[in-house]
Amino acid sequence: MVDSLVLVGSCARVGKNVHLGAGTTIGGVLEPPNSRPVIIEDDVFVGGNCGIYEGCLIESGAVIAAGTIITAATPIIDVETGEKFSGRVPATAVVVPGGRIRNLGLSGGKFVLKTPLIVKRRDPATTAKIALEDSLRSFEA
Protein backbone atom coordinates (compact mmCIF):
# COMPACT_ATOMS: atom_id res chain seq x y z
CA MET A 1 0.00 0.00 0.00
CA VAL A 2 1.50 3.32 -1.09
CA ASP A 3 0.04 6.55 0.30
CA SER A 4 0.16 9.92 -1.45
CA LEU A 5 3.41 11.75 -2.27
CA VAL A 6 5.65 8.70 -1.74
CA LEU A 7 8.92 8.68 -3.67
CA VAL A 8 10.66 5.35 -4.32
CA GLY A 9 14.07 5.72 -5.93
CA SER A 10 15.38 3.62 -8.76
CA CYS A 11 16.83 0.26 -7.74
CA ALA A 12 15.09 0.29 -4.34
CA ARG A 13 13.58 -3.09 -3.45
CA VAL A 14 10.25 -3.22 -1.66
CA GLY A 15 8.76 -6.52 -0.49
CA LYS A 16 5.20 -7.82 -0.21
CA ASN A 17 2.54 -6.43 2.15
CA VAL A 18 4.48 -3.21 2.79
CA HIS A 19 2.76 0.04 3.74
CA LEU A 20 4.58 3.25 2.78
CA GLY A 21 3.08 6.24 4.60
CA ALA A 22 2.33 9.60 2.97
CA GLY A 23 5.31 11.76 2.12
CA THR A 24 7.87 8.99 2.63
CA THR A 25 11.06 8.89 0.56
CA ILE A 26 12.81 5.60 -0.16
CA GLY A 27 16.24 6.16 -1.69
CA GLY A 28 17.52 4.10 -4.57
CA VAL A 29 21.05 3.82 -5.90
CA LEU A 30 22.64 3.95 -9.31
CA GLU A 31 26.20 4.99 -8.50
CA PRO A 32 28.80 3.98 -7.62
CA PRO A 33 28.28 0.62 -9.34
CA ASN A 34 28.86 -1.53 -6.23
CA SER A 35 26.54 0.45 -3.94
CA ARG A 36 23.77 -1.35 -2.09
CA PRO A 37 20.14 -0.46 -2.82
CA VAL A 38 17.62 0.29 -0.11
CA ILE A 39 15.84 -2.97 0.74
CA ILE A 40 12.53 -3.12 2.54
CA GLU A 41 11.54 -6.70 3.24
CA ASP A 42 8.01 -8.17 3.53
CA ASP A 43 5.34 -7.07 6.03
CA VAL A 44 6.98 -3.73 6.93
CA PHE A 45 5.03 -0.62 7.96
CA VAL A 46 6.71 2.74 7.24
CA GLY A 47 4.92 5.76 8.72
CA GLY A 48 4.43 9.09 7.02
CA ASN A 49 7.26 11.51 6.26
CA CYS A 50 10.02 8.95 6.77
CA GLY A 51 13.26 8.90 4.86
CA ILE A 52 15.16 5.67 4.24
CA TYR A 53 18.36 6.18 2.26
CA GLU A 54 21.81 4.94 1.23
CA GLY A 55 21.58 1.17 1.21
CA CYS A 56 19.53 0.64 4.38
CA LEU A 57 17.99 -2.72 5.12
CA ILE A 58 14.60 -2.84 6.84
CA GLU A 59 13.99 -6.46 7.82
CA SER A 60 10.62 -8.24 7.70
CA GLY A 61 7.86 -7.19 10.05
CA ALA A 62 9.55 -3.97 11.19
CA VAL A 63 7.56 -0.84 12.01
CA ILE A 64 9.11 2.57 11.30
CA ALA A 65 7.25 5.40 13.08
CA ALA A 66 6.33 8.62 11.31
CA GLY A 67 9.16 11.10 10.83
CA THR A 68 12.03 8.62 11.24
CA ILE A 69 15.12 9.20 9.07
CA ILE A 70 17.56 6.33 8.51
CA THR A 71 20.78 6.26 6.48
CA ALA A 72 23.44 3.56 6.20
CA ALA A 73 25.52 5.42 8.80
CA THR A 74 22.67 6.19 11.20
CA PRO A 75 23.08 4.46 14.55
CA ILE A 76 19.86 2.79 15.65
CA ILE A 77 19.78 1.93 19.34
CA ASP A 78 17.67 -0.76 21.01
CA VAL A 79 16.60 0.89 24.27
CA GLU A 80 16.05 -2.45 26.03
CA THR A 81 19.37 -4.13 25.21
CA GLY A 82 21.63 -1.18 24.32
CA GLU A 83 22.58 -2.92 21.08
CA LYS A 84 23.45 -0.60 18.18
CA PHE A 85 22.65 -1.20 14.54
CA SER A 86 23.89 0.88 11.60
CA GLY A 87 21.66 1.21 8.58
CA ARG A 88 19.77 -1.97 9.47
CA VAL A 89 16.49 -2.36 11.29
CA PRO A 90 16.12 -5.90 12.68
CA ALA A 91 13.02 -7.99 12.00
CA THR A 92 9.89 -7.02 14.00
CA ALA A 93 11.59 -3.97 15.56
CA VAL A 94 9.43 -0.92 16.28
CA VAL A 95 11.54 2.17 15.58
CA VAL A 96 10.69 5.74 16.62
CA PRO A 97 12.54 9.04 16.15
CA GLY A 98 14.76 9.79 19.11
CA GLY A 99 17.94 11.53 20.15
CA ARG A 100 21.06 11.22 22.25
CA ILE A 101 23.10 13.90 23.96
CA ARG A 102 26.68 14.28 22.76
CA ASN A 103 29.50 16.61 23.77
CA LEU A 104 30.83 18.08 20.56
CA GLY A 105 33.35 20.68 19.61
CA LEU A 106 36.09 22.42 21.51
CA SER A 107 33.59 24.52 23.41
CA GLY A 108 32.32 21.39 25.18
CA GLY A 109 28.78 22.19 24.10
CA LYS A 110 26.10 19.55 24.41
CA PHE A 111 23.99 18.73 21.40
CA VAL A 112 21.19 16.32 20.66
CA LEU A 113 21.90 14.08 17.67
CA LYS A 114 18.90 12.48 16.04
CA THR A 115 19.05 8.75 16.69
CA PRO A 116 16.23 6.33 15.87
CA LEU A 117 15.34 4.11 18.81
CA ILE A 118 14.01 0.56 18.88
CA VAL A 119 11.41 0.75 21.63
CA LYS A 120 9.95 -2.75 21.39
CA ARG A 121 9.28 -5.70 19.09
CA ARG A 122 6.12 -5.99 17.04
CA ASP A 123 3.52 -8.19 18.69
CA PRO A 124 0.33 -9.90 17.44
CA ALA A 125 -1.79 -6.94 18.65
CA THR A 126 0.09 -4.65 16.26
CA THR A 127 -0.57 -7.05 13.42
CA ALA A 128 -4.29 -7.14 14.26
CA LYS A 129 -4.46 -3.34 14.00
CA ILE A 130 -3.33 -3.43 10.39
CA ALA A 131 -5.85 -6.11 9.38
CA LEU A 132 -7.79 -3.39 7.55
CA GLU A 133 -4.90 -3.08 5.12
CA ASP A 134 -5.12 -6.78 4.31
CA SER A 135 -8.81 -6.45 3.48
CA LEU A 136 -8.12 -3.41 1.27
CA ARG A 137 -5.39 -5.29 -0.59
CA SER A 138 -7.75 -8.16 -1.36
CA PHE A 139 -10.48 -5.85 -2.73
CA GLU A 140 -11.03 -6.32 -6.43
CA ALA A 141 -12.70 -3.66 -8.54
pLDDT(14) > 90:
yes
Does residue 115 surpass a pLDDT of 80?
Answer: yes
Domains, the chain, in order of start with CATH, read 7-134 (2.160.10.10)
Encode pLDDT of 18-58 as tens digits: 999 999 999 877 677 777 899 999 999 999 999 999 889 99
Helix (H) or strand (E) holding 13: strand 13-14
Least confident residue range of 60-64, 103-107, 108-112:
103-107
Q: How far apart are CA 38 and CA 8, in angstroms?
A: 10
Sign, CA dihedral 92-119-63-100, equals negative
- Which of 8, 45, 33 is CA-nearest to residue 130? 45
| pTM of the entire predicted model | 0.83
What does the alpha-carbon distance between residue 52 and residue 30 come to, in Å, rounded to a whole number? Answer: 16
Interatomic CA distance for residues 141 and 139, integer angstroms: 7
Task: Give the N- to C-terminal CA distance of the chain in Å, as an integer.
Answer: 16
